[in-house]
């Protein structure tokens, strides 16, 4: 449950891989990108994550072009707080930027209200409470339904919850990158969804050996599927959002939700 009223299946989809390399520019095959999004909906994925900086702007348009009008079950989560000058990632958490970004996302996604609007990351030049306060104003104005934070730590989450109701946190988290362990626990305790991006370590875990490969063999699965299954076992708050531009990989990712890991499997994975 996101924000107490948005029920989604626990395998989401990170749509950013559908644009060009490093989340920049048009994809080589726009038709394939459209097919992946439509297949995601067919497979029952209900949470689709994007950002205005993916492209920039291209990814949000892709989602609308492929899936509009959206099913009642589809939850669109987008983000603001970065610009992409010369392909770089430049934080911009100024209130005026966030307001303009929200309006742009509403137009590109063809929505009257965004289900989950996330601050893409703290801007070191803007007080975090100022950025989050702007999202709270947008929520009160009816332009967003729920507020999310991305790339934050436990202390920042605690402090921002004093300013606004936080429905979700999105950080990098996977079998080998567990710096957000305490944040996962805090989200579970607080009834906050934890969206895990790079859940297979940007593809590295798909090629893993050792315990991951051994457990995968026991289940007749791929290492990437076991890495996703581990996240689902880690906490009921975790929603992995693997991204891919391949229908085959998309189908493999969704199938990972059916894998039931044993206590021995979890112990082996550490």
What sections of 46-152 are H helices per DSSP? 58-67, 95-109, 128-140
E strand or H helix that includes residue 195: strand 193-197
Which one from 54, 82, 117, 173 is the annotated catalytic residue? Answer: 54
13-200+237-243: what fold?
TIM Barrel (3.20.20)
Q: Is 54 noted as a catalytic residue in this protein?
A: yes
Omega before residue 123 within 30° of 0, cis: no
Task: List the strands of the sheet with 238-240, edge to edge.
Answer: 13-14, 47-49, 75-80, 114-119, 144-150, 166-172, 193-197, 238-240
pTM of the model: 0.97
Query: Domain segments of the chain: what residues?
Result: 13-200+237-243
Paired tokens of 221: 């699965």
Dihedral, CA of residue 38, residue 40, residue 46 and residue 48, to nearest 10:
-80
Q: How do the pLDDT tens digits run along the chain, 270 residues long?
A: 999 999 999 999 999 999 999 999 999 999 999 999 999 999 999 999 999 999 999 999 999 999 999 999 999 999 999 999 999 999 999 999 999 999 999 999 999 999 999 999 999 999 999 999 999 999 999 999 999 999 999 999 999 999 999 999 999 999 999 999 999 999 999 999 999 999 999 778 878 788 999 999 999 999 999 999 999 999 999 999 999 999 999 999 999 999 999 999 999 998
Sort residue 44 into left (φ over 0), alpha (ψ -120 to 50) or beta.
Answer: left
């Amino acid at each position: 449950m996101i924000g107490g009223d948005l029920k989604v299946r626990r395998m989401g989809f990170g749509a950013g891989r559908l644009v060009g390399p490093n989340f920049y520019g048009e994809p080589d095959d726009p038709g394939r990108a459209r097919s992946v999004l439509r297949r995601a909906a067919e497979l029952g994925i209900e949470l689709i994550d994007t950002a205005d900086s993916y492209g920039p702007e291209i990814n949000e348009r892709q989602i609308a072009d492929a899936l509009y009008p959206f099913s009642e079950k589809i939850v669109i989560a987008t983000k603001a707080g970065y610009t992409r000058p010369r392909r770089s990632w430049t934080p911009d958490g100024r209130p005026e930027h966030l307001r303009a970004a929200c309006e742009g996302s509403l137009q590109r996604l063809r929505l009257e209200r965004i289900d989950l609007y996330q601050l893409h990351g703290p801007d070191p030049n803007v007080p975090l409470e100022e950025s989050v306060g702007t999202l709270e104003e947008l929520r009160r104005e009816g332009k967003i339904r729920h507020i999310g934070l991305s790339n934050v730590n436990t202390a920042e989450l605690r402090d921002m919850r004093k300013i606004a109701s936080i429905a979700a946190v999105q950080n990098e988290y996977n079998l080998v990158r567990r710096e957000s362990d305490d944040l996962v626990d805090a989200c579970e305790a607080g009834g906050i969804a934890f969206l895990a991006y790079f859940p297979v370590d940007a593809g590295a875990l798909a090629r893993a050996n050792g315990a991951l490969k051994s457990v995968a063999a026991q289940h007749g699965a791929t290492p990437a599927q076991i890495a996703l299954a581990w996240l689902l076992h880690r906490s009921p708050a975790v929603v992995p959002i693997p991204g891919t531009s391949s229908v085959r990989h998309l189908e493999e990712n969704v199938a990972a939700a059916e894998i039931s890991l044993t206590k021995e499997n979890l112990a082996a994975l550490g």
